């Protein structure tokens, strides 16, 4: 999979967005290497985590340069831009922005002054106590900043940068400031940041978003996913531990603990968000997805002739479903690989083709067949509804939809933007009502227990809140009320 376009199954209809991660982060300390170029390729491997802005900051030990803009990594940077970013350490960011937050000033890394120099910071996740933190920032600066900082989707990152910038000077510099600030933060944060000399990486005590450490021949790299280490030739060393702050510079690698670890890794990383060639907490994502398909086949069997995936994110689960059910697997849909995310709006005529802009059915494979169509999740249901219609038009005798995650009923407060609660199709609808709305012959979801079992991670070390409503970290949304379960 190369970037977000490879995960098409939630992005098949023009204007219809799937679950969006709030970013990919990458950092490198490697004297003698072209760190901006390494960061570029690291971000390129993390493009699926954020496609709306990208940025890189580098330092040569004297000063920090930053280059960032809206667009895909490949659109933001060219050779000239990378040439201008000299130095031996760098941090980078690929951003997903919520509506209205696409502006340049929301792109990361953020830059800010500190008592001992400058901080450049990139953040993946979402803080749950931003208002509390804004009060601290306002108190320290003597002015009410909630109006300025409180705007936009980059609030939490700006707040962290301000907090680091307003820590008093100390011999330990930015590292000391981070040890004072990190315990104040709640929610999900996988951070990479740096001053002129030192690269830092920190992960929240629950380790909700992934963050890993790799070794380069002449230095170190940190990245949201192991796949980004692979692409720059770094060897995976270990995860950045929940509650850990790492520092890397000429004095080597140092680890400090700012909180006790209480792991609650996001299960949706295994379902959909992470690349299949990434490993999280020792479990390869592809293996987890394939196993989810096997469990799904046992829990929701179907009388059918053929199993087909919704490409690409449904593919591992469809393979698992076929293995466990004994039904043949086939590619019944061809993806238009180069029609990816584009800033060019389709014409009205093309928009009306909807899903066909990105997928085309193979009639000779599916005509007359009873199909099991496997997808990783249903958010709004618009994609699956269009898909079922298209398969019927192409001659499918029956369409049985199978989903390798349970119904998404709750919002995520830790960095994933699914949809508003009112838009979630499973919000207040039974499985039978959803089936009817999709126009499928049958609909089956994996159970929560089955999904958790497939990850091979202990249930008490996972967040499953968007499926269960059991939030491992308190959040500030007082309006939350339980959704009627299906």
Chain residues binding ligand SF4 by CB under 6 A are 208, 266-268, 412, 414, 416, 463-466
- Residue among 33 and 156 whose Cβ is closer to ligand SF4: 156
- Residue among 194 and 419 whose Cβ is closer to ligand SF4: 419
- Residue among 220 and 414 whose Cβ is closer to ligand SF4: 414
Nearest Cα neighbor of 399 from 390, 412, 411 is 390
Say whether 153 sits in a helix, a strand or coil. coil
Rounded CA separation 317/293 (Å): 4
- Residue among 258 and 414 whose Cβ is closer to ligand SF4: 414
Spacing of C-alpha 362 from chain mean position: 31
Count of other CB atoms within 10 angstroms of residue 139: 12
Rounded CA separation 462/451 (Å): 11
Question: What is the nearest approach in angstroms of ligand SF4 to the Cβ of residue 208?
Answer: 5
Rounded CA separation 98/422 (Å): 17
Question: What is the nearest approach in angstroms of ligand SF4 to the Cβ of residue 266?
Answer: 3
Q: What are the CB-based long-range contacts (under 8 Å, 24+) for 168-177?
A: 168/115, 169/115, 169/116, 170/115, 170/116, 173/114, 173/116, 173/117, 173/198, 174/114, 174/116, 174/117, 174/119, 174/198, 174/200, 175/200, 175/245, 175/247, 175/254, 175/256, 177/114, 177/115
- Residue among 44 and 414 whose Cβ is closer to ligand SF4: 414
Question: What is the nearest approach in angstroms of ligand SF4 to the Cβ of residue 364?
Answer: 38
Nearest Cα neighbor of 463 from 241, 207, 192 is 207
- Is 466 part of the annotated catalytic residue set? no
Cα Rg for the chain, rounded, in angstroms?
Answer: 23
Question: What is the nearest approach in angstroms of ligand SF4 to the Cβ of residue 412?
Answer: 3
Question: What is the nearest approach in angstroms of ligand SF4 to the Cβ of residue 59?
Answer: 32
The DSSP line for 6-58 is: GGGGG--STT----EE--EEEEEE-TTS-HHHHHHHHHHHTGGG--SEEEEEE
- Residue among 234 and 266 whose Cβ is closer to ligand SF4: 266
- Residue among 350 and 458 whose Cβ is closer to ligand SF4: 458
Question: What is the nearest approach in angstroms of ligand SF4 to the Cβ of residue 273?
Answer: 7
Rounded CA separation 20/222 (Å): 22
- Residue among 359 and 419 whose Cβ is closer to ligand SF4: 419
Opening angle at CA 151, ends 145 and 156, nearest 5? 80
Give, in order, the Cα–Cα distances in Å from 448 to each of 31, 285, 427, 453: 47, 17, 16, 9
Matching residue, tokens 């996988």? 190
Catalytic-role residue among 23, 266, 412, 466: 23
Nearest Cα neighbor of 360 from 328, 385, 337 is 337
**Residues annotated catalytic, as ranges:** 23
């Amino acid at each position: 999979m190369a970037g977000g376009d490879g995960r098409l199954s939630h992005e098949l209809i023009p204007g219809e967005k799937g679950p969006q991660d709030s970013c990919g982060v990458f950092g490198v300390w490697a004297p003698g290497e072209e760190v901006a170029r390494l960061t570029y390729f690291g971000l390129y491997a993390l493009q699926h985590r954020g496609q709306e802005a990208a940025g890189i900051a580098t330092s040569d030990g004297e000063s920090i340069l930053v280059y960032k803009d809206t667009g895909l990594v490949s659109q933001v940077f060219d050779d000239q831009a990378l040439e201008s970013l000299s130095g031996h350490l760098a941090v980078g960011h690929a951003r997903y922005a919520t509506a209205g937050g696409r502006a340049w000033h929301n792109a990361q890394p953020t830059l800010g002054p500190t008592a001992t120099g400058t901080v450049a910071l990139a953040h993946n996740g979402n803080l749950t106590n931003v208002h509390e933190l804004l009060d601290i920032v306002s108190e320290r600066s003597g002015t009410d900043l909630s109006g300025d900082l409180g705007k936009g989707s980059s609030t939490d990152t700006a707040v962290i940068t301000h907090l680091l910038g307003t820590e008093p000077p100390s011999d330990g510099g930015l590292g000391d400031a981070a040890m004072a600030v990190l315990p104040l933060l709640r929610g999900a944060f996988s951070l990479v940041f740096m001053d002129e000399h030192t690269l830092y990486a920190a992960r929240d005590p629950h380790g909700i978003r992934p963050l890993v450490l790799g070794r380069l021949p002449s230095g170190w790299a940190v990245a949201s996913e192991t796949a980004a280490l692979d692409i720059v030739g770094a060897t995976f060393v270990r995860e950045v531990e929940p509650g850990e702050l790492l520092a890397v510079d000429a004095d080597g690698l140092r680890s400090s603990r700012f909180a006790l670890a209480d792991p609650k890794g996001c299960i949706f990383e295994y379902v959909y968000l992470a690349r299949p060639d990434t490993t999280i907490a020792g479990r390869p994502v592809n293996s987890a997805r394939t196993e989810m398909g096997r469990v799904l086949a046992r829990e929701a069997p179907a009388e059918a002739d053929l199993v087909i995936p919704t490409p690409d994110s449904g593919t591992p689960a469809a393979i698992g479903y076929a293995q466990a059910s004994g039904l043949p697997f086939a590619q019944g849909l061809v993806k238009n690989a180069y029609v990816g995310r584009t800033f060019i709006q389709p014409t009205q005529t093309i928009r009306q083709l909807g899903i066909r802009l990105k997928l085309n059915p193979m009639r000779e494979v599916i005509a007359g067949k009873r199909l099991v169509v496997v997808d990783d999740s249903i958010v709004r249901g618009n994609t699956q509804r269009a898909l079922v219609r298209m398969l019927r038009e192409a001659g499918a005798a029956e369409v049985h939809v199978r989903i390798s995650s349970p119904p998404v009923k709750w919002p995520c407060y830790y960095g994933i933007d699914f949809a508003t609660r009112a838009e979630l199709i499973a919000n207040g609808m039974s499985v039978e009502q959803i089936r009817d709305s999709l126009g499928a012959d049958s609909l089956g979801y994996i159970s929560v227990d089955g999904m958790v079992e497939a990850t091979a991670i202990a249930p008490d070390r996972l967040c499953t809140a968007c499926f269960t409503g059991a939030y491992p970290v308190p959040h500030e949304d007082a309006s939350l009320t339980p959704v009627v379960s299906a």
